[in-house]
Amino acid sequence: MDTAFSASLDAGLSGATRVYHIVGDPIAQVKSPAGVTAAMRARGSDAIVIPAHVAPADLATYFAGATATRNVDGVIVTVPHKFAATEFCKSLTDEAAFLGAANMLKRNADGSWHGGTSDGVGMVAALRAAGCRPEGKRASLIGAGGAGSAIGFSLVEAGVASLAIRDFDAARTGALASRLAGLGHGAVTVSDDTDPQSYDIVVNASPAGMRPGDPLPLDVSTLAPTTFVGDVVTKPPLTPFIEAARARGCQTVTGTQMFERVCEAIVEFLLED
Amino acid sequence: MDTAFSASLDAGLSGATRVYHIVGDPIAQVKSPAGVTAAMRARGSDAIVIPAHVAPADLATYFAGATATRNVDGVIVTVPHKFAATEFCKSLTDEAAFLGAANMLKRNADGSWHGGTSDGVGMVAALRAAGCRPEGKRASLIGAGGAGSAIGFSLVEAGVASLAIRDFDAARTGALASRLAGLGHGAVTVSDDTDPQSYDIVVNASPAGMRPGDPLPLDVSTLAPTTFVGDVVTKPPLTPFIEAARARGCQTVTGTQMFERVCEAIVEFLLED
């Protein structure tokens, strides 16, 4: 474990420590208990994030128990429970309601759960940290799955003038474009990989780049040095797409940089009143 | 927090960490999450003990959730749940079955709970650590409540030749003496505070000594320098009774020393196969 986390625990673990769970199946692979705990403690909170390994069939029983445990202030939700988690929320953020998914739950005043999502706000926060101002910009999104839907929502909410979405699954691409257009914030269209247009913002939310030999998610010759380029892929830490974008002079956001902001968004959501 | 605990957490907190709860109502006052976690990590276990604040009315819901959470390997139980906890155990140690109470639960092979208690074994282990060999000795116990019953059971199991019990509540004293005698290990009798006999082992399991001005739990003039004297009271750390016993040359076990052994007994129970 990193020493920052160890040092942060000098603040204590006791009966008064507030508890947050991260629930998933499997759970042993997640790294966030140490990182999110350290981030919460850096903000002065006597809190800890602990793993909860719960099978889908047991999720309702688990949530009943977590709800009855008065010092559990929040639950981070990971695969495969992000969609089912909404069933246990009395209220949802606009983004979580749009996506039909929640990856972070905190208490309402009556003890019930309020659900939110962090992937989209995390990517937009990382783009802003790289110097990008999404307002009025032309954006392109590759991938219309869970991460892509979240990032598309957050880009539209952030005020992009237009969003072009591309995915191998035409049905879900069209559905997402239609629903995002329905939010009434900007033009949302379906594009294809012959799209010659240059964008101000390009985000890969597809798995392309995870395996050696994957084709690049788009033709990098369309990238201008002023284009901001983001990628959700974290393994490898530096994808061929990000490398190619940097070679063209673009400012970039790696998957790791995005997930640092996702972690911050989770901490912000869970600790704010 | 003490640095030993902080250093012990260098072993990590991650999705693979095994989780133990300590459940009570209230819970904020308990100190054991740090101490028991440190003890488990000192034995090489990637484990953590976290508090669970659960009201009596919610205990069944809580236990259903804990049972469904596959990385929860054990539950430490504190006030007021020690008696009710047995309802959620499929099996009990002999001591827990005798007491009708459990303060530590671990998994059976089928995922159900096996309950045990640690107060009695903790006091006997502390007496042994002070040099006492209970086998064949004459013991006196003041207090026939929860702690007294547990210590009485463990003294009888440890092989004392006789046990004299005294408590202001004649009914519960007689009932405990009768049930302990029924175990068939040694003579168990009811005594009173005019008892002039000298004992080899004297244990105070009553609250006497917690408030300034409390009378001593027994006439210390009956103590011989060879008598081993124990006290369950932890506040103050050094009770007038222990001070008086030391003045007479006795080897002593304070409440704090007992609870160190109770903690060890919990760790031993929870981590052993």
Collect all residues of chain B within an 8 Å Cβ-Cβ radius of residue A67: 61
Domain ranges (residues) in chain A: 3-117, 120-259
- B53–chain A Cβ distance below 8 A for any pair: yes
User: Positive or negative CA dihedral for A266, A267, A268, A269?
Assistant: positive
Inter-chain CB proximity B68 and A51 less than 8 Å: no
**Whole-number pLDDT of residue A6:** 46
Clarify whether B31 is annotated catalytic: no
CATH number of A3-117: 3.40.50.10860
- B76–chain A Cβ distance below 8 A for any pair: no
C-beta atoms surrounding B226 within 10 Å: 11
**Whole-number pLDDT of residue A198:** 82
A-B contacts (CB, under 8 Å): 151
Please list the pLDDT of chain B residue by residue as tens digits (273 residues).
344 444 444 447 999 999 999 999 999 999 889 989 999 999 999 999 999 999 999 999 999 999 999 999 999 999 999 999 999 999 999 999 999 999 999 999 999 999 999 999 999 999 999 999 999 999 999 999 999 999 999 999 999 999 999 999 999 999 999 999 999 888 898 987 666 678 999 999 999 999 999 999 988 998 999 999 999 999 999 999 999 999 999 999 999 999 999 999 999 999 997
- DSSP states of B199-266 as a string? -SEEEE-SSTTSSTTPPPSS-GGG--TT-EEEE---SSSS-HHHHHHHHTT-EEE-HHHHHHHHHHHH
**Average of pLDDT values for A256-261?**
96
Q: What is the spatial distance between Cα A148 and Cα A180, in angstroms, rounded to a whole number?
A: 12
Q: What is the spatial distance between Cα B121 and Cα B127, in angstroms, rounded to a whole number?
A: 10
Collect all residues of chain B within an 8 Å Cβ-Cβ radius of residue A26: 15
Task: Please tell me which residue in A31, A82, A106, A235 is annotated as part of the active site.
Answer: A82
**Whole-number pLDDT of residue A151:** 97
Question: In this complex, which of A24, A33, A54 lies closest to B68 when CB atoms are compared?
Answer: A54
**Average of pLDDT values for A165-183?**
95
Sheet strand arrangement including A187-190: A187-190, A162-166, A138-142, A201-204, A228-231, A251-253
Residue of B nearest to A38 (CA): B13
Over the stretch A107-121, which tens digit does the pLDDT of each residue have? 999 999 999 999 999
Question: In this complex, which of B32, B50, B62 lies closest to A50 when CB atoms are compared?
Answer: B50
The token duo for B263 is 């903690």
**Lowest-pLDDT choice from A19-33, A62-76, A220-234, B179-193:** B179-193
**Whole-number pLDDT of residue A12:** 78
**Whole-number pLDDT of residue B6:** 46
- A5–chain B Cβ distance below 8 A for any pair: yes
**Whole-number pLDDT of residue B195:** 66
Confidence class for position A273, pLDDT limits 50, 70, 90:
confident
**Average of pLDDT values for A201-230?**
94
Domain at A120-259, CATH class: alpha beta
Does pLDDT of A5 surpass 90? no
Inter-chain CB proximity B71 and A62 less than 8 Å: no
**Whole-number pLDDT of residue A246:** 97
**Average of pLDDT values for A19-29?**
97
Chosen from B2, B9, B107 to mutate, greatest number of chain A CBs within 10 A: B9
Over the stretch A187-200, which tens digit does the pLDDT of each residue have? 898 987 666 678 99
Q: Do domains B3-117 and B120-259 have the same CATH topology?
A: yes
The pLDDT mean for chain A works out to: 93
Q: How far is A62 from chain B (nearest CA, A)?
A: 4
**Average of pLDDT values for A259-270?**
96
Q: What is the spatial distance between Cα A193 and Cα A218, in angstroms, rounded to a whole number?
A: 7
In 3D space, the residue among B15, B138, B224 whose CA is nearest the CA of residue A32 turns out to be: B15
Chosen from A31, A53, A79 to mutate, greatest number of chain B CBs within 10 A: A53
- A52–chain B Cβ distance below 8 A for any pair: yes
For chain B, the farthest-separated pair of C-alpha atoms sits apart, in whole angstroms, at 60
